């Protein structure tokens, strides 16, 4: 009995020492955790709400690179110009190629400035709905949300579609679509730790905005990283097991 208790105590001490080492490492590298996370909990709530319907929307990286501002609505769409009087509203939808319309105003990328000048002169409001990896299904959902929740009813819609959208429709989003009475209502977001899974930046943003003490931020960050990492590992093991079972079933079917 004493031997068992001694082993348990030894395991606990070892675990505690390893945890302290990771805690110290996280404390020293805490600033690196800020990369890719959102600026506010309001952004997180907005992003989570609409990503749950459209797989994903823009993130903080896109706002920093293309838009140079942190307005919440810019996670979903951007008003490219604001004419004093408006005759028409033109919505431009597409993937990252449309997203890049707003990329700076320098000599290499004059498109935004040209669009703004033309729109203001002709009394046309241009709205960019461009989001990386958006295909027709997501654009359709985006349009419905802009109309119902933001009171944006475009007179003209310009849609950019290329060969990558065909691949996205038939590969990336095919098994994530949810229909109701034959109508697409949602394209489910990812939660497997891969690209487009925003679980980590969501939680880190909340942690960094909930505590003033660097120690408590470090403590909660490490605990989340451990839980999140374990969750992803379990999901990968389960998915790998499922695929193995499917392969066994297919092989059995071929033999029969």
| CB distance 86 to 62 below 8 Å | no
Q: Look up the pTM and report it.
A: 0.82
Per-domain residue ranges of the chain: 35-189
Q: What is the CA radius of gyration of the chain?
A: 24
42-72, pLDDT tens digit by residue? 999 999 999 999 999 998 888 777 766 678 9
145-196, pLDDT tens digit by residue? 999 999 999 999 999 998 888 889 988 999 999 999 999 999 999 888 788 8
65-117, pLDDT tens digit by residue? 776 667 899 999 999 898 989 999 999 999 988 887 766 545 545 677 888 89
- pLDDT tier at 223, thresholds 50, 70, 90: very high
Residue of 189, 146, 168, 178 lying closest to 56 (CA atoms): 189
For residue 66, give both structure tokens.
């293309």
Residue of 30, 21, 52, 77 lying closest to 202 (CA atoms): 52
In the 8-state DSSP scheme, what is residue 123?
A: T
In the 8-state DSSP scheme, what is residue 108?
A: T
Lowest-pLDDT choice from 20-29, 103-112, 198-207: 103-112
Q: How far is the C-alpha of 96 from the C-alpha of 101, rounded, in Å?
A: 9
**What was the pLDDT predicted at 48?**
94
Q: Taking all residues of the chain, what is their mean pLDDT, rounded to a whole number?
A: 86
| CB distance 98 to 128 below 8 Å | yes
């Amino acid at each position: 009995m004493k031997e068992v208790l001694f082993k348990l105590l030894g395991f606990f001490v070892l675990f505690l020492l390893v945890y302290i080492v990771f805690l110290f490492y996280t404390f020293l590298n805490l600033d690196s955790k800020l990369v890719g996370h959102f600026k506010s909990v309001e952004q997180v709530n907005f992003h989570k709400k609409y990503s749950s319907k459209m797989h994903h929307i823009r993130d903080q990286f896109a706002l920093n690179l293309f838009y140079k501002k942190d307005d919440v609505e810019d996670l979903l769409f951007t008003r490219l110009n604001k004419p004093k009087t408006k005759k028409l509203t033109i919505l431009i939808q597409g993937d990252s190629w449309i997203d890049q319309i707003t990329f700076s105003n320098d000599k290499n990328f004059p498109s935004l400035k040209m669009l703004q000048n033309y729109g203001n002169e002709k009394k046309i409001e241009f709205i960019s709905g461009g989001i990386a990896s958006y295909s027709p299904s997501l654009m359709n959902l985006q349009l419905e949300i802009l109309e119902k929740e933001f009171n944006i009813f475009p007179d003209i819609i310009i849609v950019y579609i290329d060969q990558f959208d065909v691949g996205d429709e038939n590969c990336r989003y095919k098994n994530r679509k949810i229909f109701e009475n034959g109508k697409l209502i949602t394209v489910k977001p990812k939660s497997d730790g891969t690209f487009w899974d925003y679980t980590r930046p969501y939680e880190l943003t909340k942690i960094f905005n909930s505590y003033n003490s660097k120690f408590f931020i470090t403590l909660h960050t490490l605990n989340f990283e451990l839980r999140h990492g374990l969750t992803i590992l379990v999901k990968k093991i389960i998915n790998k097991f499922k695929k193995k079972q499917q392969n066994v079933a297919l092989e059995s079917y071929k033999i029969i």
